[in-house]
C-alpha cells in the first residue's frame, strides 16, 4: 500500500508545481575581466597565454590603472616574449626593459606619452606540475568603463574590488 | 523497573523533549550548509517530476544544486526529496517538522535493531545517549547529515556484529545479508563522505575476521559474500561518482572538499589562490571561484586545481602548526556541543531560558557521553568474544570519525556523527561493569545479547586464539590512540 501511495504521489507530482532551488551554493564562473567588454586592455593588445585576472584598480595618486593577472602553464620568458610581441603589434615601442633575479620588468611607450610598465614575477616554491606559474603586474593608462551591462558591476568578473565596499 | 516500562518511559521522554524543543527551531532560517541540502532536495524532486511526466530532465539544475561544488554527498537531499515531491514550496517549519519526524523514526528503528542484536541495555542507552541530548534533538530538525550518518553507523555496527556471530559458528553470510550490508554501508557513505574511512576500516576488519575464523568452504562463501557487498556498494556509489565527475570535469569518487579543507585548516589563507583569494566572499566559496577560473584558462578540471592550490598554501605548515590546528579542531569538535543553539533559533519562539537549558543539559550529557567514549578508547576488553568485537568495532568507528580534525576544519556539529557510537560504548562499559557483580543481571539476556539467535544451540569451537587476537588488536588500538594524542600535545607545545 505504501508503494502504491508513493507511486500515485510521484505520478501526481508534476501537477503540484515545481520546486525552485536557489543554486546559491555553487559560485558562478564569472566572465573573464578582459573579455567582458568593461575595462579592456589598450587597443590592439591581447594576452596570448593562459591567465586569470586577480585585481584591477585605478591608482589613487597616479593617473594609472594597475592590472594584476597570473599566468598558467608557461614560464616567465615565454610570457615576456608574448607580451613584447603583442604590445609591438599594437604600436607600442619597447623602452629600457630591465630585470632582476626575481622578476622581469618591461616598459613600453606609445606616441611618447602612454607609458606602460609590466613586471613579470614567477611564483616561488612551485611544484613542477603546478598550473599557475607566476604573476604579471601591468601599470597601464586608465580606461573608462565601456558599458553599463550588469557584468560591469560584478566585482568577481571585473576584479575591481577596491572600488567597492566589502560586503558578503 | 520492568523492561517494557523502561522503553516506554524513555521513548515518551524523547518525544516529549523533542516536541517541547520544536518551537525553538521550527522557524529558524536556514543556516550554512543546510542551504545546499534543501536546494539539492528541491532539484531532485524536480528530477522525479521530469521523469514522472516523461519530460526533459534539467541536467544543469541537477549539476548546480545536487553536485554543486562536490562538497557534500546527496544522501540528505535524497531523504528530503519526498517532501518536495509532495510540496514543492514547503516552508521552513514544514521542512523542520518533516526532518524531526523522520529522525525520530530512524532513531526508533536503530534502537529496535540494536535491541535485537545487542540487547535492551544498548537500545535503552541509545534512547538516552543521544536520544535525550537537547542539542542533538535540535540538530534532528536541521538539514545537516551528520546526525543521520551517526545513526546509520550504529545500524552498520549491529549488522557487522551479527555477521561476526554467524562467522564464529562457521556460517557464511547469505546473499540477503550481503545486500543488506551493502545498502547500509552505501547509506552511510551517501549521508556523509567523511564516514567512508569508517566503512572501509570496518569492512576490512570483518574480512580479516573471516580469514582468521572460517574454514575452507565457509571462507570461500564469505569471500563471495564480501565481493557481493563490494560490488553492490560500488554499484550504489557509481551513479553519484559518475555524475559528479561529469559535472566537475574531474575524477570524483565521493566529495571534493578535502583539499580546500586542508588548506583552510592548516594552510596560509594568503597563499591559497597563489596569493590572496578574491575578497568579499567566504573562505569556502572564493577558492572554488578561483579554481574554476584557472580551470577555464587551462582547459583542466577544477578539482585538480583545488588540489594544487591546497598543496601550495600548505608549504609553510610545520609539525607544530599542524598539531596546534588539529588540537583547535578537536576543541571545536568536542568542547562546544551546543554552540549551534544560537544559530538555529526561531525568530519569535526561542526564549533565553530554553537556550540556557539546551546549553547546560547538552554540555553535561555530552561530557558524560564523550567521557564514556574516551574511556572505551583506553579499555582493552578481554572477556567474552562478543563484547570484544563490540569494543573493537566501536573503537574503530570512533577513531575513524575522529580522523576528521586531522584533515578538515572541525565544527561543533560533527559530534552528532560520533554520539550514537559513544552511546554504544557507554552501554558496553555498563555491561562490563555489571558483569563483574555477583548478580550480573544487566550482563545477561535480554539486557545483553551475545549469541546468534538462530544458532544459539550450536556452540562455537574453542575461541581462545580468536580472543587473544582480539585482545591484541584492541591493545594496539589503545596504544595508537595514546601515542597519537601524546604526540599531538608534544608537537603543539614544542
pLDDT (tens digit per residue) in B380-411: 999 888 999 999 999 999 999 999 999 998 88
What local confidence, expressed as pLDDT, does residue A2 receive?
A: 83
Average pLDDT over residues B9-16: 98
What local confidence, expressed as pLDDT, does residue A168 receive?
A: 32
Q: Indicate the number of domains in chain B.
A: 2
Average pLDDT over residues B213-232: 88
Asked if B398 contacts B198 with a C-beta cutoff of 8 angstroms, the reply is: no
Counted across chains A and B, CB pairs separated by less than 8 A come out at 139
Residue B454, pLDDT > 80, answer no
DSSP string covering chain A, please?
-HHHHHHHHHHHGGGG-------TTS---PPPTTTSSSSPPSTT----S-EEEEEEEE-SSSSEEEEEEEEESS-HHHHHHHHHHHHHHTT-EE---EE-SS-EEEEEEETTTEEEEEEEEEPTT--TT-SEEEEEEEEEE--------GGGG-HHHH---TTS----
Residues B146 and B218 in one domain: yes
* Closest C-alpha to B196, from B152, B243, B228, B246: B152
In a domain, B219, yes or no: yes
Residues B328 and B310 in one domain: no
Confidence of residue B461 (pLDDT cuts 50, 70, 90): low
Contacts of A27 in chain B (CB under 8 A): 69, 281, 285-286, 288-289, 292
Residue B215, pLDDT > 90, answer no
Neighbour-count burial of A101, counting CB atoms closer than 10 A to its CB (0-12 exposed, 13-18 middle, 19+ buried): exposed
Strand pairing category for A93-94 and A51-58: unpaired
Q: Are A135 and B68 inside 8 Å of each other by CB?
A: no
Residues B288 and B352 in one domain: no
CA trace torsion B366, B368, B369, B373 (10° rounding): 130
Residues B355 and B483 in one domain: yes
Q: Poorest-confidence range of B160-169, B204-213, B267-276, B290-299?
A: B204-213
Question: Can you give the residue ranges of every domain in chain A?
Answer: 30-158
Average pLDDT over residues B119-142: 97
Confidence of residue B372 (pLDDT cuts 50, 70, 90): very high
Q: Are A51 and B52 inside 8 Å of each other by CB?
A: no
Q: Which of B297, B301, B307, B317 to mutate to probe the A interface, most A CBs <10 Å?
A: B297
pLDDT (tens digit per residue) in B417-452: 999 999 999 999 999 999 888 888 888 888 888 775
Residues B186 and B154 in one domain: yes
Over its C-alpha atoms, chain A yields an Rg (Å, rounded) of 23
Residues B88 and B147 in one domain: yes
Reported ipTM: the value is 0.93
Residues B293 and B436 in one domain: no
Nearest to B52 among A10, A70, A166 (CB): A10
pLDDT (tens digit per residue) in B308-357: 999 999 999 999 999 999 999 999 999 999 999 999 999 987 899 999 99
Residues B311 and B406 in one domain: no
Which residue on chain A is closest to B308 by alpha carbon?
A130
pLDDT (tens digit per residue) in B161-191: 999 898 888 888 889 999 999 999 999 999 9
Contacts of B259 in chain A (CB under 8 A): none
DSSP string covering B160-201, please?
HHHHHHHHHTT-PPPHHHHHHHHHHHHHHHHH-GGGHHHHHH
Residue B66, pLDDT > 80, answer yes
User: What is the nearest CA distance from A38 to chain B, expressed in angstroms?
Assistant: 18
What local confidence, expressed as pLDDT, does residue B132 receive?
A: 98
Confidence of residue B455 (pLDDT cuts 50, 70, 90): very low
Confidence of residue B211 (pLDDT cuts 50, 70, 90): confident
Q: Which CATH class is domain A30-158?
A: alpha beta
pLDDT (tens digit per residue) in B239-253: 999 999 999 999 999
Give residue B96's Cα distance to chain centre: 20
Q: Are A27 and B311 inside 8 Å of each other by CB?
A: no
Contacts of A159 in chain B (CB under 8 A): 278
Residues B79 and B216 in one domain: yes
Q: Would you call the peptide bond into A116 cis, given omega within 30 degrees of 0 as the criterion?
A: no
Taking CA atoms, B104 is separated from A77, B90, B225, B417, in Å, by 64, 20, 32, 15
Which residue range is the domain that position B174 belongs to?
25-252+320-453+462-493
Residues B444 and B328 in one domain: yes
pLDDT (tens digit per residue) in B279-310: 978 889 999 999 999 999 999 999 999 999 99
What local confidence, expressed as pLDDT, does residue B318 receive?
A: 95
Contacts of B98 in chain A (CB under 8 A): none
Contacts of B46 in chain A (CB under 8 A): 18-19, 21
Asked if B45 contacts B127 with a C-beta cutoff of 8 angstroms, the reply is: no
What local confidence, expressed as pLDDT, does residue A163 receive?
A: 59
What local confidence, expressed as pLDDT, does residue B1 receive?
A: 60
Q: Are B275 and A54 inside 8 Å of each other by CB?
A: yes
Q: Are A10 and B39 inside 8 Å of each other by CB?
A: no
Low-confidence ranges of chain A (pLDDT < 70): 112, 163-168
Q: Are A20 and B89 inside 8 Å of each other by CB?
A: yes
Contacts of B85 in chain A (CB under 8 A): 9-10, 13, 16
Q: How far apart (Å, rounded) are the C-alpha atoms in residues B224 and B373? A: 34
Residues in chain B: 494
Confidence of residue B145 (pLDDT cuts 50, 70, 90): very high
Amino acid at each position: 500500500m505504501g508503494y502504491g501511495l508513493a507511486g500515485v504521489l510521484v505520478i501526481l507530482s508534476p501537477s503540484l508545481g515545481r520546486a525552485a532551488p536557489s543554486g546559491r551554493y555553487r559560485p558562478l564562473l564569472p566572465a573573464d575581466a578582459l573579455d567582458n567588454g568593461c575595462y579592456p586592455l589598450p587597443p590592439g593588445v591581447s594576452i596570448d597565454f593562459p591567465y586569470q585576472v586577480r585585481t584591477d584598480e585605478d591608482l589613487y595618486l597616479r593617473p594609472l590603472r594597475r592590472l594584476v593577472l597570473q599566468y598558467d602553464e608557461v614560464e616567465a620568458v615565454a610570457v615576456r616574449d608574448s607580451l613584447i610581441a603583442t604590445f609591438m603589434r599594437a604600436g607600442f615601442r619597447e623602452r629600457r626593459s630591465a630585470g632582476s633575479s626575481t622578476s622581469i620588468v618591461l616598459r613600453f611607450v606609445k606616441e611618447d606619452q602612454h607609458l606602460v610598465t609590466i613586471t613579470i614575477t614567477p611564483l616561488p616554491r612551485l611544484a613542477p606540475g603546478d598550473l599557475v606559474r607566476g604573476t604579471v603586474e601591468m601599470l597601464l593608462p586608465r580606461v573608462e568603463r565601456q558599458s553599463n551591462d550588469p557584468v560591469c558591476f560584478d566585482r568577481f568578473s571585473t576584479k575591481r574590488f577596491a572600488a567597492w565596499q566589502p560586503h558578503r | 523497573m520492568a523492561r517494557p516500562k523502561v522503553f516506554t518511559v524513555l521513548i515518551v521522554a524523547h518525544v516529549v523533549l523533542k516536541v517541547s524543543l520544536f518551537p525553538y527551531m521550527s522557524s529558524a532560517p536556514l543556516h550554512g550548509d543546510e542551504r545546499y541540502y534543501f536546494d539539492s532536495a528541491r532539484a531532485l524532486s524536480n528530477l522525479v517530476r521530469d521523469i514522472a511526466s516523461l519530460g526533459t530532465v534539467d541536467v544543469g539544475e541537477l549539476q548546480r544544486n545536487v553536485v554543486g561544488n562536490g562538497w557534500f554527498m546527496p544522501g540528505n537531499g535524497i531523504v528530503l526529496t519526498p517532501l518536495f515531491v509532495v510540496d514543492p514550496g514547503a516552508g521552513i517549519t514544514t521542512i523542520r517538522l518533516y526532518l524531526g519526524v523522520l529522525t525520530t523514526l530512524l532513531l526508533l528503528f536503530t534502537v529496535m535493531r540494536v535491541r535485537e542484536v545487542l540487547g535492551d541495555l544498548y537500545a535503552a542507552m541509545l534512547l538516552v545517549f543521544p536520544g535525550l541530548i537537547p542539542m542533538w534533538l535540535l540538530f534532528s530538525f536541521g538539514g545537516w547529515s551528520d546526525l543521520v550518518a551517526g545513526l546509520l553507523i550504529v545500524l552498520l555496527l549491529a549488522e557487522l556484529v551479527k555477521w561476526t556471530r554467524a562467522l564464529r559458528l562457521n556460517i557464511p553470510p547469505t546473499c540477503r545479508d550481503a545486500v543488506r550490508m551493502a545498502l547500509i554501508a552505501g547509506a552511510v557513505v551517501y549521508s556523509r563522505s567523511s564516514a567512508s574511512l569508517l566503512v572501509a576500516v570496518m569492512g576490512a576488519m570483518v574480512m580479516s575476521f573471516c580469514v582468521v575464523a572460517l574454514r575452507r568452504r565457509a571462507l570461500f562463501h564469505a569471500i563471495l559474500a564480501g565481493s557481493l557487498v563490494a560490488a553492490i556498494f560500488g554499484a550504489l556509489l557509481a551513479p553519484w561518482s559518475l555524475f559528479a565527475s561529469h559535472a566537475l570535469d574531474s575524477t570524483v569518487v565521493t566529495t571534493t572538499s578535502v583539499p580546500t579543507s586542508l588548506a583552510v585548516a592548516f594552510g596560509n589563507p594568503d597563499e591559497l589562490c597563489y596569493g590572496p583569494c578574491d575578497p568579499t566572499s567566504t573562505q569556502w566559496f572564493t577558492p572554488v571561484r578561483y579554481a574554476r577560473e584557472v580551470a577555464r584558462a587551462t582547459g583542466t578540471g577544477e578539482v585538480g586545481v583545488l588540489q594544487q592550490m591546497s598543496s601550495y598554501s600548505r608549504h609553510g605548515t610545520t609539525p607544530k602548526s599542524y598539531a596546534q590546528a588539529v588540537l583547535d579542531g578537536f576543541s571545536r569538535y568536542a568542547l562546544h556541543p551546543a554552540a549551534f543553539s544560537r544559530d538555529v533559533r526561531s525568530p519569535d519562539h526561542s526564549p533565553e531560558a530554553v537556550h540556557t537549558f539546551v546549553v547546560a543539559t547538552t554540555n553535561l550529557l555530552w561530557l558524560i557521553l564523550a567521557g564514556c567514549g574516551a574511556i572505551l578508547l583506553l579499555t582493552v576488553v578481554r572477556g567474552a568474544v562478543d563484547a570484544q568485537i563490540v569494543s573493537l568495532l566501536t573503537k574503530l568507528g570512533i577513531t575513524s570519525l575522529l580522523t576528521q580534525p586531522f584533515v578538515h576544519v572541525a565544527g561543533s556539529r560533527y559530534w552528532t556523527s560520533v554520539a550514537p557510537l559513544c552511546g554504544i560504548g557507554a552501554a558496553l562499559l555498563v555491561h562490563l561493569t555489571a558483569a563483574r557483580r555477583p548478580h550480573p543481571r544487566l550482563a545477561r539476556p535480554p539486557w545483553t545479547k551475545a549469541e546468534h539467535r538462530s544458532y544459539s544451540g550450536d556452540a562455537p569451537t574453542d575461541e581462545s586464539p580468536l580472543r587473544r587476537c582480539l585482545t591484541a588488536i584492541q591493545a594496539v588500538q589503545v596504544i595508537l590512540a595514546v601515542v597519537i594524542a601524546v604526540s599531538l600535545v608534544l608537537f603543539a607545545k614544542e
